[in-house]
Structure 1
Amino acid sequence: MTNPDPNLLTAATEVRLNAYAPYSKFRVGAAVRSVSGRIYAGCNVENVAYPEGTCAEAGAIAAMVAAGETRIADVLVIADSPDPVPPCGGCRQKIAEFAGPEAMVTLCTTDGVVRSMMVADMLPGSFSADHMTRA
């Protein structure tokens, strides 16, 4: 167990309360710290057409990009769950797009359970732009 960054934890915890989750009742908050040190937060937003909802991680990344930044230093995700909730596959790929393999991803529960891992451990063998370049 590690101690989560208090600034990321506060941002993710606060934005989690704004989640729009009328169907699942499962609120998730996420915060990303860009390499500049600024923190961006996002929450899950459900839709009655389930696949059309957005994840908290995607919202935080979109806020970062909207502010003109494209590099993630750290990520924190929090949910009211017995165990820390890892990002879905799509969000793992989104995180890998903007974070280096050494970036830390911290997963928290509202009860204080914490799990941390690097992006490389969260998404080994990730697909990247390098796969699309020809020699």
Structure 2
Amino acid sequence: MEKRALLDEEQTRRLLEEAKKARLKAYAPYSGYQVGAAILTQSGRIFGGCNIENASYGATICAERVAVARAVAEGETDFVAMAVVADSPEPGSPCGICRQFLAEFAPRLTLILANLEGKVRRGSLDEYLPYAFNKDFFCAEEAK
């Protein structure tokens, strides 16, 4: 199994800064809960994303998925770490859909979760989503 990435202080600082910047672009007229995310690729690129709410709540997309979608649209699918920043008393946590979405690409992704006051929580995605559903559950013969 792949190991969780160890980030240096500069990488962590850059990721958190990009997530904070992305958060400022959030479109959250219904909840007011603005979230920013930034994902670091193996090639060293960082992609930011913000949450985008919709009057039809099911059409809302979280910051984490926006960041991943931006990266994938640019041909990047090898992810190292993600920072998520929200204005909340405690560091926010990716929702279940985002956890599953991230697990598709990086089951042991390093997560850096923070609030605006500087409280930070670190972990790996497999700690937040143990036993994630993945391609190994498909029968290879049936998938053909």
Is this a same-fold pair by TM over 0.5?
Answer: yes
- TM value normalised by structure 1: 0.93
Would the aligned equivalents of 1:71 and 1:98 in 2 still touch at CA under 8 Å?
Answer: yes
Matched, 1:22 2:29: yes
Distance 2:126 2:58 in 1: 27
SS in 1 for 2:104: helix
Aligned residues: 133
Deviation at 1:122, TM superposition (A): 1.1
Instruction: Describe the superposition over 1:48-103 as per-residue Cα deviations: whole angstroms up to 9, x where unpaired.
Output: 111111000000000000000112100110000001111000000011111142x2
Deviation at 1:133, TM superposition (A): 3.0
Counterpart in the other structure of 2:3 = none
Equivalent pairs: percent with the same residue?
Answer: 44
Distance 1:62 1:30 in 2: 12
Gaps of 5+ in 2: 1-8
Correspondence for 1:106 among 101, 109, 112: 112
Counterpart in the other structure of 2:102 = 95
Matched, 1:119 2:122: no
Distance 1:97 1:130 in 2: 11
Distance 2:76 2:41 in 1: 7
Counterpart in the other structure of 2:13 = 6
Deviation at 1:32, TM superposition (A): 0.4
Counterpart in the other structure of 1:57 = 64
Distance 1:98 1:134 in 2: 19
- Provide the aligned C-alpha RMSD in A: 1.6
SS in 2 for 1:68: coil
SS in 2 for 1:5: helix
- TM value normalised by structure 2: 0.88
Deviation at 1:3, TM superposition (A): 9.3
